[in-house]
Amino acid sequence: MSIELRTMRYVIAIAEAGGFQRGAEQLHMAQPPLSRQIRELERELGVALFHRRPTRLTAEGHVFVKHARAVLAEVERAVAETRAAGGAAAGVVRVGCGPMSGSTDVPALVHAVAARHPGVVIEVSELWDTALCSALVSGEVDIAFGWHLSVGGELARCVLRREPYVVVVADDHPLAGRTAVKLGELAGDTFRFLPRRFAAAYYDAVLHAVRSTGVEFTVWENPLPGLRHFGDLHTGGFNVLPTSISRSLPAGLTCLTILDDLPQAELIMVWRPGAGKAVEAVAATARSL
């Protein structure tokens, strides 16, 4: 059995926070995917780690947390000793990100790198995926983050996270009072999306997920794409976004869990291998978050 360090951190965070929702807030993630991760871990272990309602550790959970803390502490020591042996990473790393990953994950990465690698300076450029991929291939950026980012060439690629999509509607939408919907309930509504030329791989992945339900929607491409321009939903229709981005939306919008079994969104990191210790340090930090 292989248990990721990230999952160990999830269990510890819930235990320390005293609940799944508070734990999710500390981890800067949504609560539903956190709960799914814990349920999957419990299935693999064959034991319950938490009592629910109220949330508290079981006897098995106490054992897990004890050893998880020891494992994470040992990993930190290994990392520190390895860095000391090879010299600390230092230098400027040019990070490129899409508007959506730039609103959530990149700020957390910047803070983590500052804490772990004080000699590394991050310069962030926000670009739509088409321009971002070109900048990475040409060497204008060292490392890039984006949803379903697809870049060719001799580049390293890593899926940092997979998470469900959610439906986004205006607060005055007929379904806004619900917490979850099937996409078929939106039949007749317009899917208000971004133009494909800005992020072709993301566009195709989201439409594939939506169409996997067998429901077809009229797609209207917003000439002003981006999180700051979701006000067009007040004229009707809906959008579909990765769950974590819902925390960055402007006021007046409601996010609904999708009950259909859709393919998940993938947050991708792509970087230039062999670009130096500073770039590798940023990539390693991103993988650990």
Number of other residues whose CB lies within 10 A of the CB of residue 80: 11
Q: Using the CB atoms, write b or e for 124-142: b if 16+ within 10 Å.
A: bebbbbebbbebbbeeebb
- Token match 């390693």: residue? 284
Within the chain, which residue ranges are assigned CATH 1.10.10.10?
5-69
CATH C-level class of 87-161+267-287: alpha beta
Three-state SS for 59? helix
Q: Which two tokens stand for residue 12?
A: 């510890």
Half-sphere exposure of 98 (CA within 13 A, CB side): 27
The mean of the pLDDT values for the chain is: 88
pTM of the model: 0.67
Share of the chain above pLDDT 90, in %: 52
- What pLDDT band is residue 246 in, cutting at 50, 70 and 90? confident
pLDDT higher than threshold 60 for residue 84: no
Predicted pLDDT at 178: 94
Quick: pLDDT tens for 6-47.
999 999 999 988 899 988 888 888 899 999 999 999 999 999
Which of the two residues, 143 and 79, has the higher pLDDT score?
143
- What pLDDT band is residue 83 in, cutting at 50, 70 and 90? low
Quick: pLDDT tens for 42-63.
999 999 999 988 899 999 999 9
Residue 176 and residue 67: Cα distance in Å, rounded? 44
Within the chain, which residue ranges are assigned CATH 3.40.190.10?
87-161+267-287, 165-263
Please state whether beta strands 91-97 and 143-147 pair in parallel, antiparallel, or not at all (unpaired).
parallel
pLDDT higher than threshold 80 for residue 198: yes
CATH fold for domain 165-263: D-Maltodextrin-Binding Protein; domain 2 (3.40.190)
CATH fold for domain 5-69: Arc Repressor Mutant, subunit A (1.10.10)
- What pLDDT band is residue 228 in, cutting at 50, 70 and 90? low
Beta bridge partners of 158: 269
